[in-house]
């Protein structure tokens, strides 16, 4: 199975307003099929005030710039007819400060006040979240509410059973509407404040119990529901969530490969593979990925196309469900800035000129300009393009669908070569990658610069 992450606004526009939409995804099915994608993850499609959509105002309605619920359903049907499953991005940790629940809370409604967390006198109102300098408490008319992702996204209070029930209702609604599963946003944040010690603290155990409940509900509705979590943390923590949810994004894979391939060394890859891809047998399916909307794009992190080809060869010959971030397959660029995330969600360049049917134009482009060789049109024409190389590896993977439920054995590295056996117990391949710009030989196998070989 091959996953593909889509930012709807930037993908494919069907009604010529420059904004990507559901019908646009429907119209792009031939591209997705030709690429070999059979699972898409769409970034939030709900009613929300921001461009990114992670601050939801209504969990039961669509963002009308993307289309109506009817158009959403039509998109799901067409995807299914073409053998493509769809997972929706579900940020359950917080809502928009303009969500009716929060508005009611601000007006003093007691039921809804308890849907959120409020500071009492012992709370440190200046406390910052652990990974940057953003505060977690926000003022409103003399009171303070908790919001790890900023004042416009107040956190829901999952100590309240009614809030858990709301989450389960949302799951039920979308599965009944036809989606195949979820990408669970910010999965380690459901319980991330210690109410006794009055400080930020991840309660992984409690989070995992919550996700267990969610998955039970989801599997009761759709036995083969697909779910993947976003837990950006150490691999050993990520794994615990993956065991319950089935799949978890393997952030360490993306980080280790980018660093190692750029610098031409292998020890971090060895560390990553041995910690995340060898013990997964019958426990979870890893989701390795090229990049996502929260980080610098692959082509800006690994600037050499030859090196990027090694990255994709590793992505597509390792166990699990690999995900490609839209545009990474054509080498779209973009440098992540937490205060200007638009740089990594630029319009998908379908045409060399950046103009034509489907082309989104909602923002000016800084990184992926016209006639720079990045577009789908230009890449399809060149036999040795990144797109054609990626398609080749995807074809290989689809011919060997058992790789989804596989693991790695006999991992060996030299200074520049990574070698491993990927197996499901019955079938196996021995894979070699040379991350150096010169010839290498390992276990008697001769490798050209940046070459990958499978036996
Ligand atoms: C998700 C979405 C993101 C979204 C939100 C909120 C959550 O993908 O687009 O923001 O709905 C943290 C959270 C993630 C969150 C990212 C953006 N992503 O945990 O859920 O922030 C460290 C921390 C991580 C942290 C990461 C951020 O541990 O928790 O992610 O830094 O850089 C190693 C370490 C690992 C470390 C990394 C990086 O891997 O093991 O621990 O991660 O290095 O240093 C959206 C918008 C935002 C908006 C918000 C409301 O995009 O702009 O503000 O919604």
What architecture is domain 100-146?
Alpha-Beta Complex (3.90)
Ligand 1 centroid, distance to 295 Cα (angstroms): 9
pLDDT in tens, 383-409: 999 999 999 999 999 999 999 999 999
Pocket test for ligand 1, best of 54, 55, 87 (most atoms within 8 A of CB): 54
pLDDT at position 215, please? 98
Q: How far apart are CA 81 and CA 70, in angstroms?
A: 17
Q: What is the pTM of this model?
A: 0.98
Sign of the torsion formed by the C-alpha atoms of 178, 180, 185 and 190: positive
Rounded percentage of the chain residues whose pLDDT exceeds 90: 99
The SS3 assignment for 118 reads strand
pLDDT in tens, 183-216: 999 999 999 999 999 999 999 999 999 999 999 9
pLDDT at position 239, please? 96
Pocket test for ligand 1, best of 131, 138, 257, 291 (most atoms within 8 A of CB): 131
Pocket test for ligand 1, best of 182, 232, 289, 296 (most atoms within 8 A of CB): 232
Q: How far apart are CA 360 and CA 374, in angstroms?
A: 15
Ligand 1 centroid, distance to 233 Cα (angstroms): 10
Nearest CA to ligand 1 atom 44: 131
**Rounded alpha-carbon distances, angstroms, from residue 248 to 4, 280, 323, 343:** 15, 11, 11, 25
Nearest CA to ligand 1 atom 53: 149
Q: How far apart are CA 12 and CA 361, in angstroms?
A: 10
pLDDT at position 109, please? 98
Mean pLDDT computed over every residue of the chain: 97
Which one from 5, 13, 55, 230 is the annotated catalytic residue?
A: 230
In which residue are the tokens 């054609």 written?
388
ipTM of predicted complex: 0.98
Half-sphere exposure (CA, 13 Å, Cβ side) for 92?
25
91 CA: nearest ligand 1 atom: 11
Nearest CA to ligand 1 atom 41: 233
Which one from 21, 55, 185, 440 is the annotated catalytic residue?
A: 185
pLDDT in tens, 404-421: 999 999 999 999 999 999
Ligand 1 centroid, distance to 435 Cα (angstroms): 29
Half-sphere exposure (CA, 13 Å, Cβ side) for 299?
20
DSSP line for 359-391: ---SS--SSS-TTSS-SHHHHHH-TTSHHHHHH
Tell me what the mean pLDDT of segment 247-259 comes to: 98
- 3-93+160-405 CATH: 3.20.20.80
pLDDT at position 444, please? 98
153 CA: nearest ligand 1 atom: 50
pLDDT at position 430, please? 98
Pocket test for ligand 1, best of 42, 89, 186 (most atoms within 8 A of CB): 186
Q: Give the pLDDT band of residue 377 (cuts 50, 70, 90).
A: very high
Ligand 1 centroid, distance to 388 Cα (angstroms): 32
Ligand 1 centroid, distance to 207 Cα (angstroms): 17
SS3 letters for 63-106? CCCCCCHHHHHHHHHHHHHCCCEEEEEECCCECCCCCHHHHHHH
Asked if residues 57 and 49 have their Cβ atoms less than 8 Å apart, the reply is yes
What residue ranges do the domains of the chain occupy?
A: 3-93+160-405, 100-146
Rounded percentage of the chain residues whose pLDDT exceeds 70: 100
Q: Give the pLDDT band of residue 233 (cuts 50, 70, 90).
A: very high
Nearest CA to ligand 1 atom 31: 131
Give the binding-site residues of ligand 1, using a 6 Å CB cut-off.
52, 54-55, 91, 131, 149-150, 153, 185-186, 230, 232-234, 251, 255, 293-294, 341
Q: How far apart are CA 156 and CA 158, in angstroms?
A: 6
Tell me what the mean pLDDT of segment 149-175 comes to: 98
Strands 39-42 and 407-413 turn out to be: unpaired
| The pair of three-digit structure tokens given for residue 272, joined into one six-digit string | 């990553």
Strands (E), 225-362: 226-229, 247-249, 285-287, 323-325
pLDDT in tens, 281-339: 999 999 999 999 999 999 999 999 999 999 999 999 999 999 999 999 999 999 999 98
Nearest CA to ligand 1 atom 12: 232
pLDDT at position 132, please? 95
188 CA: nearest ligand 1 atom: 19
| The pair of three-digit structure tokens given for residue 350, joined into one six-digit string | 């379908």
pLDDT at position 300, please? 98
Closest CA to 3 of 357, 290, 279: 290
Ligand 1 centroid, distance to 277 Cα (angstroms): 23
Burial environment of residue 222 by CB neighbours within 10 A (0 to 12, 13 to 18, 19 or more): middle
β-bridge partners, 428: 423
Asked if residues 435 and 416 have their Cβ atoms less than 8 Å apart, the reply is yes
338 CA: nearest ligand 1 atom: 52
> Same CATH topology for 3-93+160-405 and 100-146?
no
pLDDT in tens, 76-92: 999 999 999 999 999 99
Nearest CA to ligand 1 atom 49: 149
Ligand 1 centroid, distance to 186 Cα (angstroms): 7
Give yes or no: 185 in active site: yes
pLDDT at position 337, please? 94
Which residue would you say has higher pLDDT here, 340 or 257?
A: 257
Nearest CA to ligand 1 atom 23: 131
Q: Give the pLDDT band of residue 263 (cuts 50, 70, 90).
A: very high
pLDDT at position 188, please? 98
CA angle, residues 227, 229, 231, in degrees to nearest 5: 170
Tell me what the mean pLDDT of segment 218-241 comes to: 98
Ligand 1 centroid, distance to 294 Cα (angstroms): 7
Ligand 1 centroid, distance to 237 Cα (angstroms): 15
Closest CA to 455 of 425, 423, 428, 416: 428
Nearest CA to ligand 1 atom 43: 233
Asked if residues 327 and 11 have their Cβ atoms less than 8 Å apart, the reply is no
Nearest CA to ligand 1 atom 10: 54
């Amino acid at each position: 199975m091959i996953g593909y992450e889509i930012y709807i606004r930037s993908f494919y526009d069907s009604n010529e307003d420059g904004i990507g939409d559901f019908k646009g995804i429907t119209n792009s099915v031939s591209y997705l099929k030709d690429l070999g994608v059979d699972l898409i993850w769409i970034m939030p499609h709900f009613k929300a005030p921001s461009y990114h959509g992670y601050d939801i105002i209504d969990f039961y309605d669509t963002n009308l710039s993307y289309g109506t619920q009817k158009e959403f359903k039509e998109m799901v049907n067409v995807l299914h007819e073409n053998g493509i499953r769809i997972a929706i991005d579900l940020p359950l940790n917080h809502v928009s400060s303009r969500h009716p629940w929060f508005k009611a809370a601000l007006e003093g409604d007691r039921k809804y006040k308890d849907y959120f967390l409020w500071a009492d006198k012992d709370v440190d109102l200046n406390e910052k979240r652990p990974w940057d300098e953003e505060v977690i408490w926000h003022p409103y008319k003399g009171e303070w509410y908790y919001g790890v992702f900023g004042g416009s996204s107040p956190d829901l209070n999952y100590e309240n059973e009614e809030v858990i029930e709301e989450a389960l209702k949302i799951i039920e609604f979308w599965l009944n509407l036809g989606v195949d599963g979820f990408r669970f946003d910010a999965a380690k944040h459901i319980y991330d404040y210690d109410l006794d010690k009055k400080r930020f603290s991840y309660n992984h155990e409690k989070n995992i119990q919550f996700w267990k409940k969610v998955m039970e509900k989801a599997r009761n509705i759709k036995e083969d529901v697909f779910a993947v979590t976003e837990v950006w943390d150490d691999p050993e923590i990520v794994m615990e969530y993956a065991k319950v949810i089935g799949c978890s994004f393997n952030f360490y894979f993306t980080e280790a490969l980018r660093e190692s391939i750029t610098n031409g060394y292998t020890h971090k890859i060895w560390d990553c593979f041995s910690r995340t891809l060898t013990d997964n047998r019958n426990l979870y399916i890893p989701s390795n990925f090229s990049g996502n909307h929260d980080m610098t794009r692959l082509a800006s992190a690994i600037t050499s196309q030859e090196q990027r080809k090694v990255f994709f060869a590793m992505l597509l010959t390792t166990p699990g469900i690999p995900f490609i971030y839209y545009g990474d397959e054509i080498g779209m660029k973009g440098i992540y800035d937490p205060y200007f995330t638009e740089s990594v969600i630029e319009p998908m360049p379908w045409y060399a000129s950046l103009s034509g049917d489907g082309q989104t134009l909602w923002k000016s482009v800084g990184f992926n300009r016209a006639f720079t060789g990045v577009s789908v049109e230009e890449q399809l024409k060149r036999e040795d393009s990144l797109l054609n190389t990626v398609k080749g590896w995807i074809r290989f993977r689809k011919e060997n669908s058992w790789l989804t439920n596989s693991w790695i054995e006999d991992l060996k590295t030299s200074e520049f070569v990574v070698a491993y056996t990927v197996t499901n117990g019955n079938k196996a391949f021995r894979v070699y990658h040379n991350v150096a710009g010169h010839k290498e030989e390992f276990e008697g196998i001769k490798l050209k610069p940046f070459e990958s070989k499978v036996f």
